[in-house]
């Protein structure tokens, strides 16, 4: 089976979509021919057609997905699109306009939503995965110049991740520091807010993907109060695999991912959010968190993708 991923940003940024492509490529290439077209090549239909692929997976959506859809009349390949854009207009376009052969939803909640737009497209649910060897409670840690316990929040510094809510909540507590890891346009405003409200109990930093396991191991609790349209939230898996409990927003997707490895709360209610963080800090989540993360191993996820793709080829 010949498979190609199209991702303009592979090897240039480190996000959930890039991790997805990297991990699946690593595992699928042991049995199949797998290529990743990056940069301008990711939008070149000439490259796609010359490659004579069986399965084409456009990662960047919208125009890229539409071009892939139109070119399949000549390429005779099958199209698989994943729900990394999250519930909303982008994935409505990716499903209803592009009309892939298969749309992979990352949660049951997303799958039920996608079926409303999937006219002639098969919808399957396969979650994101986690590298359980890389992200583990055992291993090297780093020294963080913050008072314990450390509440970690990881994600792009953009409005819909709502890191400011973590700062507001922890500022209501007499204990606990906040470490926010990420880059983005709101870095200076988040840093200003954190410094004013938490002073020496706050740090904002950026670490390489290679160093992130050390960061998780050096923290005591994880939280990310992002909006309900979050596609999945790979960082929740990274935290749980590292043995951290999670405080998450109350929504169906987060319940499915986190399970019994943390507490759910109304992150828009700063008092309720603060109380949930305080309660979670008093609980040993390590065993439950690791057990929950083990349900999402990349080996298991890759096998599910392989089965779906082989079935797609049989239907040609």
Instruction: State the residue for tokens 């500022």.
Output: 171
Question: How far does CA 129 lie from the centroid of its chain?
Answer: 9
Task: Set out the domains of the chain in order of their start, with CATH numbers.
Answer: 2-129+297-314 (3.40.50.2000), 150-295 (3.40.50.2000)
**Percent of the chain residues topping a pLDDT of 90:** 86
Residue-level pLDDT at 17: 82
Output the DSSP codes for 130-165: B-TTTS-SSS-----SSPSSEEEEES-SSGGG-HHH
Closest CA to 283 of 251, 250, 245, 253: 245
Rounded to whole angstroms, the Cα distance separating 56 from 77 reads 7
d(CA 120, CA 225): 35
Residue 16 has pLDDT above 80, yes or no: no
Structure tokens at 276: 């949930």
Which pLDDT score, from 0 to 100, does residue 297 have? Answer: 95
Contact 247, 221 (CB under 8 A): yes
For residues 169 and 248, give the distance between their C-alpha atoms in angstroms, rounded to a whole number.
13
Predicted confidence at residue 316, as pLDDT, reads: 66
Sign (positive or negative) of CA dihedral 104, 14, 62, 8: negative
Which tokens sit at 56?
């084409």
Tokens of 220: 């005591």
pLDDT of residue 61: 86
pLDDT of residue 289: 98
Name the helix (H) or strand (E) containing 128.
Answer: none
Handedness of CA 202, 286, 207, 7 (dihedral sign): negative
Residue 13 has pLDDT above 80, yes or no: no
Summarised one tens digit per residue, pLDDT across range 245-298 is: 999 999 989 999 999 999 999 999 999 999 999 999 999 999 999 999 999 999
Cα dihedral 154, 20, 30, 36, rounded to 10, equals -120
Distance separating alpha carbons of residues 206 and 228, to the nearest angstrom: 24
Q: Which of 280, 245, 285 is nearest to 170 (CA)?
A: 280
Average pLDDT over residues 88-95: 89
Cβ atoms of 105 and 124 within 8 Å: the answer is yes
- Name the residue among 250, 270, 269 with its Cα closest to residue 258: 250
Element (H, E) at 265: strand 262-265
Facing residues of 221 across strands?
Answer: 151
pLDDT for residue 69: 95
Summarize pLDDT for 120-154 with one digit per residue, the tens. Answer: 899 999 999 999 999 999 999 999 999 999 999 99
Distance CA 167, CA 177 (A): 9
- pLDDT digits 0-9 by tens, 154-186: 998 999 999 999 999 999 999 999 999 999 999
Going by C-alpha positions, the residue among 128, 63, 58 that lies closest to residue 93 is 63
Would you tell me the crossing angle of helices 163-171 and 270-281 to the nearest 10 degrees? 70
User: Residue 4 above 90 pLDDT?
Assistant: yes
């Amino acid at each position: 089976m010949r498979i190609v991923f199209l991702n303009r940003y592979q090897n240039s940024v480190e996000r959930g979509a890039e991790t997805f492509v990297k991990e699946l490529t690593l595992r699928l290439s042991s049995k199949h021919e797998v290529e990743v077209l990056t940069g301008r090549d990711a939008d070149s239909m000439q490259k796609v057609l010359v490659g004579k692929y069986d399965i084409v997976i456009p990662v960047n959506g919208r125009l890229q997905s539409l071009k892939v859809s139109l070119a399949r009349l000549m390429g005779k390949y099958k199209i698989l699109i994943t729900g990394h854009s999250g519930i909303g207009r982008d994935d409505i376009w990716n499903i209803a306009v592009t009309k892939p052969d298969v749309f992979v939803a990352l949660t049951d909640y997303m799958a039920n939503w996608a079926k409303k737009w999937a006219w002639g497209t098969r919808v399957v649910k396969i979650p994101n995965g986690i590298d359980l060897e890389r992200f583990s409670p055992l291993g090297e840690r780093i020294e963080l110049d913050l008072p314990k316990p450390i509440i970690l929040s990881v994600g792009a510094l953009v409005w819909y991740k709502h890191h400011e809510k973590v700062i507001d909540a922890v500022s209501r507590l007499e204990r606990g520091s906040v470490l926010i890891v990420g880059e983005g346009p709101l870095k200076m405003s988040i840093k200003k807010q954190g410094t004013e409200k938490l002073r020496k109990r706050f740090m904002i930093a950026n670490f390489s993907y290679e160093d992130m396991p050390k960061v998780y191991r050096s923290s005591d609790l994880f939280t990310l109060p992002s909006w309900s349209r979050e596609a999945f939230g790979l960082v929740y898996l990274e935290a749980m695999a590292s043995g951290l409990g999670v405080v998450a927003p109350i929504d169906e997707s987060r319940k499915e991912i986190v399970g019994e490895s943390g507490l759910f709360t109304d992150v828009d209610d700063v008092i309720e959010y603060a109380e949930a963080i305080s309660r979670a800090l008093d609980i040993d989540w390590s065993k439950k968190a690791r057990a929950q993360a083990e349900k999402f191993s990349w080996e298991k996820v890759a096998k599910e993708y392989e089965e779906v793709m082989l079935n797609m080829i049989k239907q040609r």
